[in-house]
Chains A and B, each alone.
Chain A
Amino acid sequence: ETGVTQTPRHLVMGMTNKKSLKCEQHLGHNAMYWYKQSAKKPLELMFVYSLEERVENNSVPSRFSPECPNSSHLFLHLHTLQPEDSALYLCASSQERGAGELFFGEGSRLTVL
């Protein structure tokens, strides 16, 4: 139990589908993050939210659309993805943005056919 819960754990989708990844943190943290982990690549930071406000978007294609309705929930909406988007998508939280350690969820393994 990490305090950060991600659903679904596994997702297979076609290139024309629309799906969403969900993340919930039970730690009372103010910052939440989406990371992409592909084989043979470092962890790539996608989006950062601090107190529900998006503060960082690292040149992520518009087919990935984040949403943070409150400080405990984070979504990643997916549409018209490409096979190269197949990866493990990790949600993380920290007490404050840019400080302290990250608490990761167990990840959502995405396969795009």
Chain B
Amino acid sequence: GQQVMQIPQYQHVQEGEDFTTYCNSSTTLSNIQWYKQRPGGHPVFLIQLVKSGEVKKQKRLTFQFGEAKKNSSLHITATQTTDVGTYFCAGRKAAGNKLTFGGGTRVLVKP
């Protein structure tokens, strides 16, 4: 079956630094979504990428979809304490199919 892997599993970041988390699918995806779950909270949708090579930005967050539509990345610049949480990617193999979630990258920020 379809698998979605995220690395790293944990990311300790000094406040103000940049970091990137990666998402890799075992199959080609029609689209990929990213969610953020704050500690004690629930997943909240951030963005969806659909096109090969697509890049989207949300303030300090940059999301990229790979050319082969099998991987994606989330890059955060100038990390802040508000960025603490677990970031999940979720891929859909084809329209109408279920979303398969990665295991998440848990981000901890050192002030």
Q: Which residues of A contact B (CB under 8 A)?
A: 2, 41-43, 45, 48, 56, 90, 97-99, 101-107
By the criterion CB–CB under 8 Å, are A45 and B98 in contact?
Answer: yes
By the criterion CB–CB under 8 Å, are A102 and B98 in contact?
Answer: no
- Interface class of chain A by DSSP: loop
Q: Which residues of B contact A43 (CB under 8 A)?
A: 43, 88, 90, 101
- Bitwise, B95-111 to A at CB < 8 A (1) or not (0) is 11111011110000000
By the criterion CB–CB under 8 Å, are B98 and A106 in contact?
Answer: no
B41 at the interface (CB under 8 A from A): yes
Q: A105: which of B42, B45, B97 is its contact (CB, 8 Å)?
A: B42
A41-B103, A42-B102, A101-B48 are known contacts. Are A106 and B95 too (CB-CB below 8 A)?
A: no
- Bitwise, B29-57 to A at CB < 8 A (1) or not (0) is 00001010000011111001000000000
Q: Which residues of B contact A (CB under 8 A)?
A: 4, 33, 35, 41-45, 48, 88, 90, 92, 95-99, 101-104
Q: For the complex, what is the distance from the CA of A60 to the CA of B31, rounded to whole Å?
A: 26
Q: Which residues of B contact A90 (CB under 8 A)?
A: 42-43
Q: Which of A2, A42, A104, A105 has the largest number of chain B CB atoms within 10 A?
A: A42
Q: Which residue of B lies closest to A91 (CB)?
A: B42
By the criterion CB–CB under 8 Å, are A101 and B98 in contact?
Answer: no
By the criterion CB–CB under 8 Å, are B95 and A98 in contact?
Answer: yes
Q: Which residue of B lies closest to A90 (CB)?
A: B42
Q: For the complex, what is the distance from the CA of A90 to the CA of B48, rounded to whole Å?
A: 21
Q: Which residues of A contact B33 (CB under 8 A)?
A: 101-102
Q: For the complex, what is the distance from the CA of A41 to the CA of B41, rounded to whole Å?
A: 16
Q: For the complex, what is the distance from the CA of A99 to the CA of B90, rounded to whole Å?
A: 12
Q: For the complex, what is the distance from the CA of A10 to the CA of B75, rounded to whole Å?
A: 34
Q: Which residue of A lies closest to B101 (CB)?
A: A43
Q: For the complex, what is the distance from the CA of A103 to the CA of B35, rounded to whole Å?
A: 10
A97-B96, A98-B92, A99-B96 are known contacts. Are A42 and B101 too (CB-CB below 8 A)?
A: yes
What are some 11 contacts across the A-B interface (CB < 8 A)? A42-B4, A42-B88, A43-B88, A45-B99, A90-B42, A98-B95, A98-B97, A102-B33, A102-B43, A104-B44, A105-B42
